[in-house]
Amino acid sequence: MKKILFTMSICLAFFACKNDKKENNTVQTNEDVTVESPTTNFEIIPISHATMVLKWNGKTIYVDPVGGAELFADYDNPDIVLVTDIHGDHLNVETLEGLNMDNATLIVPSAVNEKTPQGISSQIIVLNNSNTADVLGFNIEAIPMYNLREEALNFHTKGRGNGYVIENDGKRIYISGDTEDIPEMRNLENIDIAFVCMNLPYTMTEESAAAAVLDFKPKTVLPYHYRGKEKMSDVFKFKNLVNAGNENIEVLMMDWYPEQ
């Protein structure tokens, strides 16, 4: 894996993938990002769209596992599984049933729990907006995710789905889920790494995503979930807007669509 080393004010070393651009405004490579410190090891493995594997302090976290269990065959069985919403690009029961969930805690909002068969995991925790849970040393908070534009209100209604803030060892990771630039996102504090969606008509524009990021000022932000109905969002436009407003926010690119 080719890595580029740089240092941040929180004294972590981040290793980022190469930012090579394709004609369709995605990135050329799909390399993992690793964050290391004396007490923290954090690795990001993008699978596709909203689906990822996080490896953090010896634990494995799956986020929105869809696409078939075979996509996860090369990774450790999950310790924690987070599902954000009921839509098929976030919840796929067949994928969950194909994974080894014997030792996994599944964390979901109520709407997802209603669509999830009993016994699919050894433990299910239902978190609704603003609720928190402590699991294996991780504090997990459910953050609202919803639409603001009148024409998009039916895509993601307030209170149905979750974004998540995950905290461990003093580090805080935000996963937006499907949302627009809502006040709850803009008011986040002390976020080390943020995964922020941007795709029309379902979530928000690059401009709205950048404006929200400039408000809550994560140390590092990764655009994800950027395939829209007709085309990919311009993540490089997003990066330029963020860095024009605050050059101290690191924008990292990863290829969430290796099949494109």
Is the pLDDT at 230 greater than 70, yes or no?
yes
Show the CA angle centred on residue 100, arms to residues 60 and 82, nearest 5°.
Answer: 50
Give the per-residue pLDDT at 150: 80
Q: Which residues are within 8 A (CB) of 23 and not within 5 positions of it... i.e. 6 or more apart?
A: none
Distance CA 162, CA 125 (A): 13
Q: What is the mean pLDDT of residues 198-214?
A: 95
Q: What is the pLDDT of residues 127-165, one digit of tens each?
A: 999 999 999 999 999 999 999 878 767 888 999 999 999
Residue type, 12: L
Q: What is the mean pLDDT of residues 169-179?
A: 96
| Domains annotated on the chain, with CATH | 39-251 (3.60.15.10)
pTM for the whole thing? 0.87
What is the β-pairing status of strands 220-223 and 193-196?
A: parallel
DSSP string, 46-61: EEETTEEEEEETTEEE
Token code pair at residue 217: 């000022």
